[in-house]
């Protein structure tokens, strides 16, 4: 009986509100843990390992169907990038047309158009230079201080290949190699 009264005193001192908060924290912790167990896919399994030089390509068998799929991928990626940029430019141009010339929105929209144009030029330069190094086709996406490069290459990229691509990206954009993701398709 002494144990029971001791437990009642302990729960009485802590209070109902604190037990509810503690229970909620434990439930949230359990939910996070279960989410991690059920849905977490390690970075290496999805192709974004520690060195960000990704090998997402097919096997080196050189299957013609896989190569045709790669060509379709590059065409689709370029088309999607162009459509997205066209839509963004259209929105920004609408803002430019519908605002006062001396307003902040007008200046921001013009700046956005300029950034898109510069990124388009950089991406085209990067793609041309990387293709000249033998990685054709190639798609480059520059977004702020990060760049993603997708190249078609049958074999795994060597360290020298990765260095060449990172050098091209750095020379064209100033983006550091650790912010460049190279994906072999």
> Do residues 34 and 98 share a domain?
no
Query: Could you tell me which residue, 30 or 124, shows the higher pLDDT?
Result: 124
CA distance 106 to 112: 10
Q: Which residues pair with 182 in a beta bridge?
A: 53, 149
Domain hosting 19: range is 2-40
Average pLDDT for residues 164-185, to the nearest whole number? 92
Nearest to 154 by CA among 63, 65, 72, 75: 63
Beta-ladder partners of 145: none
| Structural domain total, the chain | 2
| 163 in the same domain as 127 | yes
Do 64 and 21 lie in one domain? The reply is no
User: Are 64 and 9 in a shared domain?
Assistant: no
> Tens digits of per-residue pLDDT, 3-50?
667 666 766 666 666 667 766 666 676 666 666 666 555 444 444 444
Same domain, 24 and 107: no
User: How does residue 114 score in pLDDT terms, banded at 50, 70 and 90?
Assistant: confident
For the record, the structure tokens of 48 come out as 């974004």
Q: What is the pLDDT of residues 77-96, one digit of tens each?
A: 888 888 888 888 888 888 88
| Three-class SS state of 55 | strand
- Identify the pLDDT of residue 65: 47
Residues 142 and 68 in one domain: yes
Q: Are 32 and 90 found together in one domain?
A: no
CATH number at residue 151: 1.10.287.4300
Quick: pLDDT tens for 53-66. 444 444 444 444 44
User: CA-CA distances (angstroms) from residue 137 to 74, 86, 112?
Assistant: 7, 22, 28
| Per-residue pLDDT reduced to its tens digit, 152-167 | 888 888 899 999 999 9
Cβ contact 176:143 at 8 Å: no
Looking at the DSSP bridge assignments, the partners of residue 140 are 149
Quickly tell me which residue has 């993603």 as its tokens: 148
């Amino acid at each position: 009986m002494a144990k029971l009264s001791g437990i009642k005193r302990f729960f009485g001192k802590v209070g109902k509100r604190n037990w509810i908060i503690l229970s909620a924290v434990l439930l949230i912790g359990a939910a996070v843990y279960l989410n991690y167990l059920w849905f977490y896919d390690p970075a290496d399994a999805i192709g974004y390992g520690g060195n960000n030089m990704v090998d997402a390509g097919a096997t080196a068998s050189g299957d013609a169907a896989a190569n045709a799929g790669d060509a379709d991928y590059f065409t689709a990626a370029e088309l999607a990038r162009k459509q997205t940029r066209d839509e963004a430019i259209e929105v920004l141009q609408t803002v430019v047309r519908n605002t006062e010339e001396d307003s902040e929105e007008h200046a921001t929209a013009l700046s956005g158009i300029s950034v898109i144009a510069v990124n388009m030029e950089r991406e085209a330069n990067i793609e041309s230079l990387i293709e000249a190094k033998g990685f054709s086709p190639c798609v480059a996406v520059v977004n702020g201080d990060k760049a993603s490069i997708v190249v078609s290459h049958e074999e795994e990229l060597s360290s020298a290949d990765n260095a060449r691509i990172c050098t091209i990206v750095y020379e064209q954009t100033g983006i550091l190699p650790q912010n460049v993701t190279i994906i072999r398709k």
